[in-house]
Amino acid sequence: MILDLFFPNRCLHCNRIIDNELLVCNLCFEQIHFTHFNYFEDNFITDKCKLLFPVEHTFALMQFEKENISRKIIHELKYKSRERTGKILAEWTCERLDFKDEQPDLLVTVPLHPKKLKERGYNQLHLFTETLSGFYHIPFDHELIKRNHYSKAQALKDKQHRLSTENTFSINKNISGKHILLIDDVFTTGNTLASIAWEILKAGDNKVSVLVMAIDI
Q: Do 159 and 205 reside in the same domain of the chain?
A: yes
Whole-number pLDDT of residue 161: 47
Coil, strand or helix: which one is 105?
coil
Query: What is the per-residue pLDDT across 53-76, written as a single tens digit (0 to 9) for each?
Result: 999 999 999 999 888 899 999 999
**Residue pair 140/133 in contact by the 8 Å Cβ criterion:** yes
Q: Do 141 and 200 reside in the same domain of the chain?
A: yes
Q: What are phi and psi of 2, to 5 degrees?
A: -60, -40
Number of Cα atoms under 13 Å in the Cβ half of residue 162:
13
Whole-number pLDDT of residue 7: 77
Q: Do 27 and 121 reside in the same domain of the chain?
A: no
For the segment 174-192, the average pLDDT, to the nearest whole number, is: 96
Distances (CA, A) of 97 to 61, 88, 152: 9, 14, 32
Query: What is the per-residue pLDDT across 147-167, written as a single tens digit (0 to 9) for each?
Result: 998 766 555 445 554 445 567
Q: Do 13 and 114 reside in the same domain of the chain?
A: no
Q: Do 79 and 20 reside in the same domain of the chain?
A: no
Q: What is the number of structural domains in the chain? A: 2
Distances (CA, A) of 46 to 35, 59, 209, 212: 13, 8, 9, 12
β 169-171/145-147 pair status:
antiparallel
Q: Do 44 and 116 reside in the same domain of the chain?
A: yes
Which helix (H) or strand (E) is 168 found in, with range? none
Q: Do 119 and 27 reside in the same domain of the chain?
A: no
Whole-number pLDDT of residue 68: 87
| pTM score of the predicted model | 0.89
DSSP string, 44-104: HHHHHHHTTS--S-EEEEEE--TTSHHHHHHHHHHHSS-TTHHHHHHHHHHTT---TT---
Percent of all residues in the chain with a pLDDT value above 90, rounded to a whole number: 82
**Residue pair 99/79 in contact by the 8 Å Cβ criterion:** no
On the question of pLDDT at 15 being above 60, the answer is: yes
Whole-number pLDDT of residue 173: 92
120 vs 45: CA distance, rounded Å: 28
On the question of pLDDT at 42 being above 60, the answer is: yes
Q: Do 27 and 68 reside in the same domain of the chain?
A: no
Q: Do 5 and 108 reside in the same domain of the chain?
A: no
Q: What is the CATH number of the domain that holds 184?
A: 3.40.50
Query: What is the per-residue pLDDT across 98-151, written as a single tens digit (0 to 9) for each?
Result: 999 999 999 999 999 999 999 999 999 999 999 999 999 999 999 999 999 876
Q: Do 107 and 165 reside in the same domain of the chain?
A: yes
Q: Do 189 and 94 reside in the same domain of the chain?
A: yes
Residue 13's domain comprises 1-31
Q: Do 15 and 37 reside in the same domain of the chain?
A: no
